[in-house]
Structure 1
Amino acid sequence: MISKKEHQLPFDTFLKELKQRMHNVFHTRADINNLAVKRGMPPFVMREIMDLNPLSVGIPTEYGGRGSIMRENIALLSTASYESLALSLTFGINSALFLQPVAKYAQEDAKKEVFNRFLNHQNMGGLMITEPGFGSDALNMQTSHTTENGISHIQGTKHWAGLTGWAEFWLLTSRERAPSGNLKRDIEFFICDVNKPNQQIVVEEIYENLGLYQIPYGKNRLDVLIPDSHKLIPHTTGVMLMLDLLHRSRMQFPGMALGFIQRLLDESILHVRERLVGGKSLFEYDQVQSRLARMQAAYTIASAMCIHSSRVAGIENDLSGIGVEANSVKSYVTDLMQETAQSATQLVGAQAYKLTHIAGRGITDSRPFQIFEGSNDILYAQISEAVIKSMKKIKETNLYNYLKQYHLTQKFVAETKNLFDFEINTTLSQRKMVELGQIVSRLVSADLVVNAGETGFPAKLIKNALTVIRQDIEMMFSSFKNSSHPEVVENYSEQGEWLRFT
């Protein structure tokens, strides 16, 4: 077993050193605004930053790491995203999608090998789930394996895996092919080491992704042989393992969001204080104050989520059953990322539309966060499905009566009783399910903000965040309770050609 490092830096000192190194590579040796518009990460950037062993945060102490403490993982993501959302996502892919599931589910020999390579050779790892024909429908993936003499032969195609062509290790998801030729329902996870014989992954295409230029994505062909010693061992089923993994990852999105939102807020405040219009600074205009207040609320909400995730999302806990909680956190905080980037761009104006400006670039960099690891529309619908299913189970039809006793919403819902006190239709259309999920996610988040206030988080920030959440819930209810149902008109271009009506 790898011996524990005796002279690891205290975590606060480690974060300070990381900030200094990021400042050096992104502002002294180079300009991040120029680096961020080019594909890939310059070697000196990764060399300088990885030399500090930031990924040790995701490795247990018995293998020489910092302990895979959730508080530290989230703080690492937040610290990195203040300077570079792409770097933070790189850390997140390595920690949440590889190191944490390996620490929890891998066999001993595999753990020793993987963690040693991460700590001493700056290796990286990622996760391959998505397939060209099966994105959100992951349970029907077609990548398959057969096993003989303790070796699994995995064949298939994966794409949109972050760090394509970079990572040395991959978690591969596959379904076993039965002797009949049919694929079994459960999913299995394998650790693939591309440096080993018969484990090379062929990168068939590198995608020209819109935003997050510094992270490579692409299409990968799998035809590899993996020994049984490098299979993950689920506590129950592979599907439950995947849910535990994905929910834990979603609970860490606030870390990536927080630093990103804080940076855009800082840049926006600096700009509007210095920019003069009509003889006074933009900061004095009411509409500017409104945008800044919403951005500040996003900062508070993301902070509250970070506090909560630090408490509940550790690898020692089984998160497979917290779908409503994890989906609420991921979907809402990524919506806040996009909204904050849009507001920052609006406040800065024309300068933000340069690729070299962080505000406009933040729009395209944050947009995929609303899609990957579960499209937000789907997650919102799943939130509603879970709530309605639970209401049916206890034979409750009044939404307020249910939410006031639901552990995720019972604190703030009393403040909005007039909105939630009605009989819910349990056969809602899909679009209404999405809208209800958006509302519930805001309510869940409001409770997290209340909890943050109870820890001593600044009361003014808490109050402002709750005001913004309440306003949003009220607006969303206006749409939710509107019975109009617009439909797509076929052959619209022929029927609605405007020239015919002049």
Structure 2
Amino acid sequence: MTSSNPKFAEFITHFEQNLKHLFHDQYNIDQLSLERGLPPELLKSIMDMHPLSVAIPTAYGGRGSIVKECLAVLAAASYESLPLSLTFGINIALFLEPISKYGEESAKAAVLNGFLERRNMGGLMITEPDYGSDALNMKTSNKETPEGYHLKGTKHWQGLTGMADYWLIASRKENENGELGRDIDFFLSDNTQTGQQIKVTELYDNPGLYMIPYGLNELDITVPKSHKLIPESTGIKMMLDILHRSRMQFPGMGMGFIKRMLDEAIAHCSNRTVGTCKLISIDNVQYQISRMQSAYTICSAMCAHSSDISGIDHNLAMEGLEANTMKAVVTDLMQECAHLLVQLSGANGYRTSHIGGRGIMDSRPFQIFEGSNEMLYAQIAEMVIRLMKKQKETDLYGFLKAFGATAIPVVQFKTELSFSLNANLPQRKLVDLGKIIARIVCAGYVIGLQQKGFRSDLAENSILTIRQEVAVLVSNLQFENSNSVIDDYAAGSNWFSFA
């Protein structure tokens, strides 16, 4: 099959054109977005274009798991439908890439061929009702039996619940004394096989991303021994490698979405007349759209950088700073761009049938799943503070000037960052510090993209926007605020008594 694959430029152009036809001519995407799931015939038409072939190695008939091709497919999908892009993202980053890298050969061949021949789908189960971000304490267990491995537990908020054909399931080994081991194991389950079916006990009423089913899953299954993933070292490092690679592919989903928000904003503001002038000629409108263009530029730079470093031949277990940066910043930008489009669109934007209004709800969970952004920013700050302590460095600018990911871009932030950093920051300040560091890392991505030939006006405008954000964040970091929750706040605070 590989030899007959069209060149990628033809492949992606065909994909984009057909998606546009399907969503705007054959079906009404605005109406579809208000309904749960996708019509089976529409999903079949999409999957018949083999979009997931980009994440399958050439040895199994795919396009070769080339990151930039994966990101391009995600971007093409998210321009038309963010839920569709997330569906692809789940399949690519949370199933196909992990199974390609860590799956046992006998299991891997059957699964990957099935994705091409039968248009299958797969997902990843980590999150549990009582252990969301605290994955290391998950209670789903695995126990070796003569038939294979018995898995038992409860998982929830898995995208494609009840829809995926295959699942990768994270669990902990049950020891002879009944206690669970510290490491994490991953197993492949096949919903078409007796004894491997996962019971969906509830479908959730998610307020956005209607196309994707989420829910509660009860596991009591046995999978063959060949369905255990093989880590390079420990299972925890395998999980970090999987999650970090996934976070580094968020820019692909962000790319098309941000471009769509930007294109819609420019089109609306160029055609909308207010008084005697076009909306786009108003100064604050120019500022708002320039922020969207900055988001477009940053996301473009992330995609280019991710293409270089996040392939399955790389182990990303130790690349938490860059993975957290890409995921947190791009999802913040997605949400901001959706809000800006709604604001610029006026009352029309406040409709679920409007791409902006729908975009707010569809992009919001991106800031939460795979690690809430506040947690990821705090982790970035903690990484830097640990290194600063180790080097006995207190000057933030001095440290960042010698730190690989920030060494080049930080010179543009010397005025804002030349201060001594308190190493004992409260958590709320760690979030501010993490946001600062993440944005400087992104400035480095933009500079790197500009050096490759990306247009300078967009890059320079983006750097200026990042500098403004950093200045505000530094002010927040240095502002003393130790407010805490006031117990029994209602006593003595009824305004009616004082009117």
Q: Give TM class, smaller chain.
A: over 0.9
Select the residue among 361, 373, 378 that pairs with 1:376: 373
Matched residue type, 2:42: V
Deviations along 1:123-178, one digit per CA (max 9) or x if unpaired, are 00000000000101111000001112251100000000000011000000000111
Deviations along 1:421-458, one digit per CA (max 9) or x if unpaired, are 22211111000001100111101100111101100000
- Is 1:207–1:216's contact at 8 Å kept on the other side of the alignment? yes
- Is 1:21–1:48's contact at 8 Å kept on the other side of the alignment? no
- SS in structure 2 of the partner of residue 465 of structure 1: helix
State the 1:310 CA deviation: 0.4
Alignment of 1:440-455 (within 5 A): 440-455=437-452
- What is the percent sequence identity of the aligned residues? 52
CA distance in 2, matches of 1:206, 1:495: 43
Alignment of 1:397-408 (within 5 A): 397-408=394-405
2:432 paired with 1:420: no
Structure 1 residues 313 and 450, CA gap change in structure 2 (3 angstroms): same
- Is 2:184–2:236's contact at 8 Å kept on the other side of the alignment? yes
- Is 2:152–2:220's contact at 8 Å kept on the other side of the alignment? yes
CA distance in 1, matches of 2:262, 2:277: 20
Alignment of 1:303-318 (within 5 A): 303-318=300-315
CA distance in 2, matches of 1:483, 1:134: 33
Counterpart in the other structure of 1:262: 259
Alignment of 1:82-481 (within 5 A): 82-149=79-146, 151-481=148-478
- Is 1:300–1:449's contact at 8 Å kept on the other side of the alignment? yes
Matched residue type, 2:266: I
CA distance in 1, matches of 2:491, 2:221: 52
Matched residue type, 2:151: I
- SS in structure 2 of the partner of residue 493 of structure 1: coil
2:40 paired with 1:43: yes
- SS in structure 2 of the partner of residue 267 of structure 1: helix
- Is 2:33–2:353's contact at 8 Å kept on the other side of the alignment? yes
Matched residue type, 1:434: V
Aligned pair count?
499
Matched residue type, 1:199: Q
List runs of 5+ in structure 1 lacking aligned partners: none
CA distance in 2, matches of 1:200, 1:360: 37
State the 1:6 CA deviation: 2.3
CA distance in 2, matches of 1:216, 1:125: 13
Deviations along 1:59-78, one digit per CA (max 9) or x if unpaired, are 00001000001110111101
State the 1:353 CA deviation: 1.1
CA distance in 2, matches of 1:495, 1:442: 43
Counterpart in the other structure of 1:500: 497
- Is 1:109–1:229's contact at 8 Å kept on the other side of the alignment? yes
- SS in structure 1 of the partner of residue 490 of structure 2: helix
- SS in structure 1 of the partner of residue 3 of structure 2: coil
- SS in structure 1 of the partner of residue 93 of structure 2: helix
- Is 1:209–1:217's contact at 8 Å kept on the other side of the alignment? yes
CA distance in 1, matches of 2:350, 2:395: 47
- SS in structure 2 of the partner of residue 388 of structure 1: helix
CA distance in 2, matches of 1:459, 1:139: 45
TM-score of the two chains, using structure 1 as the length reference: 0.98
Counterpart in the other structure of 2:5: 8
Instruction: Give the CA RMSD over aligned residues.
Output: 0.8
State the 1:247 CA deviation: 0.3
TM-score of the two chains, using structure 2 as the length reference: 0.99
Deviations along 1:451-484, one digit per CA (max 9) or x if unpaired, are 0110000000000000000000001111110012
2:19 paired with 1:33: no
- SS in structure 2 of the partner of residue 408 of structure 1: coil
- SS in structure 1 of the partner of residue 313 of structure 2: coil
CA distance in 2, matches of 1:456, 1:134: 45
CA distance in 2, matches of 1:495, 1:188: 54
Deviations along 1:176-209, one digit per CA (max 9) or x if unpaired, are 1111111101000000001001000000001110
